């Protein structure tokens, strides 16, 4: 039953990630442009140049704000990562729980170190 829940959560996260792939790419591009515009704005000496870079930065900021649904895609990618991590670790945890001598072997190894 646990695997079924992980499979469902992973499937939903994968669908959400795929539907938000476009906004994620748009957000990455617009944030990169915004970063470059900010760097140029800081380097600029003239007031007219700062105004020009400020206008371009405002346009890039609006483009970034229009891609806010990409945050759902990022969250879905994180959930998909957690599902993948939990899917792989659940096999080893079950094997350790079935073996009653695991704790004994660890303590015996600690005693033999000294």
- pLDDT for residue 13 is more than 70: yes
pLDDT score for 39? 95
pLDDT score for 112? 82
pLDDT score for 3? 81
103 or 11: whose pLDDT is higher? 11
Residue closest to 24 by CA, chosen among 73, 61, 64: 73
Buried b (16+ CB within 10 A) or exposed e, 52-79: ebeebbeebbebbeebeebeebeebbeb
Q: What angle do CA 39, 41, 44 make, to 5 degrees?
A: 110
What is the domain partition of the chain in residue ranges? 1-20+69-114, 25-68
Q: How far apart are CA 68 and CA 80, in angstroms?
A: 20
pLDDT, tens only, 21-62: 999 999 999 999 999 999 999 999 999 999 999 999 999 999
pLDDT score for 6? 84
pLDDT, tens only, 64-101: 988 888 888 899 999 999 988 888 875 555 555 666 66
Sign of CA dihedral 29, 30, 35, 41: positive
Q: Whole-prediction pTM value?
A: 0.65
pLDDT score for 41? 94
């Amino acid at each position: 039953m646990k695997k079924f829940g992980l499979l469902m959560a992973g499937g939903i996260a994968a669908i959400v990630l795929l539907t938000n792939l476009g906004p994620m790419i748009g957000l990455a591009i617009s944030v990169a442009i915004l970063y470059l515009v900010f760097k140029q704005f800081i380097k600029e000496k003239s007031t007219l140049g700062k105004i020009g870079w400020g206008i371009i930065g405002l346009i890039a900021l609006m483009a970034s704000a229009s891609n806010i649904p990409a945050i759902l895609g990022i969250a879905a990618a994180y959930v998909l990562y957690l599902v993948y991590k939990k899917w792989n670790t659940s096999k080893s945890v079950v094997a350790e729980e079935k073996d009653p001598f695991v704790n004994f072997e660890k303590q015996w190894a600690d005693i033999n170190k000294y």
